[in-house]
């Protein structure tokens, strides 16, 4: 079946602009996760949605980062007023409740 | 808070050599453990996982890992590597008391030479 998809695959933006990154999880998966992969920090957890529960936002690095999940499916990660240190690959994953996470191809964000 | 340590950052092997990548974790409670692999230009894929039961788990492509609770370790092994195993390998855990978010190690870059 279809895996996790993310768009865009690449995004180049100027410092100070807002960006939106999209994730389509595997159909039927109740949990959705965002991670960030960067050279200096490795793979870091950002935020986690499980069903209708309040999201776990404990990994968001600043209040410029936010995410929403509409209708229990698609999720959008928004970064406001981007900074150069936000440059990274943003990964989305989905899973059944407390089960193995399957990752998408990521969005490579470059902030100039 | 939990953490994962991978001791080898870069490993270079010849084809047919045996592989063992170290992974240790720090957490006092119950954990689920994973190895993910990222081939060049591809996304993260699950190699194998341990949730409970037999501590020796087998994954795809001939990989296996052994959970040793007393050593807080989950080392990855393969008896004979192939050139196509060239990739970055990540050990990760989920603590059963901390939601289902993954904590990753820093990764091991494996290069297999012909």
**pLDDT digit string, tens, across residues A74-102:** 999 999 999 999 999 999 999 998 889 99
Q: Do A42 and B107 touch (CB under 8 A)?
A: yes
Residue B79's pLDDT band, with cuts at 50, 70 and 90, is: very high
Q: Does A34 touch chain B (CB under 8 A)?
A: no
- Write out the two tokens for B74: 């989950």
Residue B98 pLDDT = 67
**Chain B CB within 8 Å of residue A103 CB:** yes
Distance CA A50, CA A99 (A): 12
Please judge whether A43 and B107 are an interchain contact, meaning their C-beta atoms are less than 8 angstroms apart: yes
Q: Does B49 touch chain A (CB under 8 A)?
A: yes
- Among A48-52, A79-83, B48-52, which range has the highest average pLDDT? A79-83
Instruction: Give the pLDDT confidence of A13-38 residue by residue, as tens digits.
Output: 999 999 999 999 999 999 999 999 99
> Which of A40-44, B21-25, B46-50, B95-99 shows the lowest per-residue confidence on average (mean pLDDT)?
B95-99
Tokens of B43: 């996304």
- The verdict on a CB contact (< 8 Å) between B44 and A103 is yes
Taking an 8 Å cut-off on Cβ atoms, the answer to whether A103 and B99 are in contact is no
CB of B103 within 8 Å of any CB in chain A? yes
Assess whether pLDDT exceeds 60 at residue A105: yes
Extract the tokens encoding A86: 């936000």
């Amino acid at each position: 079946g279809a895996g996790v998809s993310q768009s865009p695959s690449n995004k180049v933006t100027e410092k100070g602009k807002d960006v939106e990154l999209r994730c389509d999880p595997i159909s039927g998966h109740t949990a959705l996760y965002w991670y960030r992969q960067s050279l200096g920090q490795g793979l870091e957890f950002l935020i986690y949605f499980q069903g209708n529960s309040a999201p776990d936002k404990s990994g968001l690095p600043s209040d410029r980062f936010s995410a929403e999940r509409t209708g229990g499916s698609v999720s959008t990660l928004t970064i406001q007023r981007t900074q150069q240190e936000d440059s990274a690959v943003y990964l989305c994953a989905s899973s059944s409740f407390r089960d193995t996470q399957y990752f998408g191809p990521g969005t490579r964000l470059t902030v100039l | 808070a939990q953490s994962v340590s991978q001791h080898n950052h870069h490993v270079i092997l010849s084809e047919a050599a045996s592989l063992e990548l170290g992974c240790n974790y720090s957490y006092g409670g119950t954990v689920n453990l994973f190895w993910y692999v990222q081939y060049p230009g591809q996304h993260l894929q699950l190699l194998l996982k341990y949730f409970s039961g037999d501590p020796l788990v087998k994954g795809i492509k001939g990989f296996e890992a052994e959970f040793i609770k007393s050593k807080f370790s989950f080392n990855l092994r393969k008896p004979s590597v192939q050139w196509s195993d060239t990739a970055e390998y990540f050990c990760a855990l989920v603590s059963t008391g901390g939601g289902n978010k993954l904590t990753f190690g820093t990764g091991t870059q494996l290069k297999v030479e012909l």
